[in-house]
Amino acid sequence: MAVFCVNAACPAQLVRRVEYFVSRAAMDIEGFGIKNARLFVDKGFIKDIADVYYLNRDKLLALEGFKEKKVDNLFKGIEASKAQPLERVLTALGIRFVGREVSRLLLTHFDSLEAIAAADVETLEAIDGVGPRIAVSVYDWFRRPEHQAILAKLKDAGLNFVAARPSPIEKAQPLSGLTFVITGTLPGVTRSEAKAAIEAAGGKVTGSVTGKTSYLLIGENPGGSKFTKAQKLGTPQIDWLALQGMMRG
């Protein structure tokens, strides 16, 4: 059994909470990981987990190693996370003993955060799979004023507080799941145009050849290193013309 610091503003705990909030298991915010969590808490940008949604763009840009593109991606990831289902939001709150599975379990009995917040210990404990420890932990969490303030901020930010409907099926895209690396000059298009086209078709473009690269897109005067690496790995090659054919389906 671990010892817990009771101080709600304890910096070490705060970092831990933010790390968890942002992690793949919880809100899964792209471009936001452990390092950023520590940094932002350190700089005082984040004082509770809800502050993740109230970051200031200009302050971020003033930081070492943060420029337009990186900050853009970060904000895009944060925006996208607002659409995460309630199950993840509940997980992300960091209530002790409540991880992904227990969150799912709770949501089979309640259809909103408010409903869980309003439940008493007996009601919670009556759920199969929830023992006294979980029940008390959940109950206590929602009673704390500082937590209620966090919930209000999160709700203002636009997070899901009600159980989500199943999401509509995305239409099949010809290049989905494929990763491309571009080398050389492409006939008729710039690199960024080619990249945009590939992404529009559901594919990805990366900068270096690895085992996960699906195709090396060859242009004129290809560079040496990507080419040799692709050969070593046996990565298939393709030219712009053939790729355009693929994108049409």
Partner DNA sequence: ATCTGTAGCCGGATAAAGTG
Partner DNA sequence: CACTTTATCCGGCTACAGAT
Which residues form the interface with DNA (CB under 7 A)?
1, 20, 23-25, 28, 30-36, 39, 65-70, 73, 96-103, 129, 131-134, 179, 182-185, 190-191, 204-208, 210-213, 219, 221-226
Phi, psi of 152 (to 5 degrees): -65, -40
Distance CA 194, CA 208 (A): 16
- Rounded to a whole number of angstroms, the minimum distance from the CB of residue 213 to DNA is 6
Distances (CA, A) of 37 to 83, 87, 151: 21, 22, 19
- Rounded to a whole number of angstroms, the minimum distance from the CB of residue 104 to DNA is 8
Nearer to DNA, 98 or 154 (CB): 98
Q: What is the number of alpha carbons within 13 Å of residue 30 lying toward its C-beta?
A: 8
For the chain, helix (H) and strand (E) counts, in that order, are 13, 4
Strand-pair partners of 216: 181, 237
Tokens 């997070």 belong to: 159
What is the maximum span of the chain, computed from C-alpha positions, in angstroms? 72
Which one-letter amino acid corresponds to residue 16? Answer: R
Distances (CA, A) of 152 to 51, 95, 111, 114: 12, 16, 18, 11
User: CA 92, 142, 41: angle at the middle one, nearest 5?
Assistant: 45
Distances (CA, A) of 34 to 5, 13, 38, 235: 21, 13, 6, 33
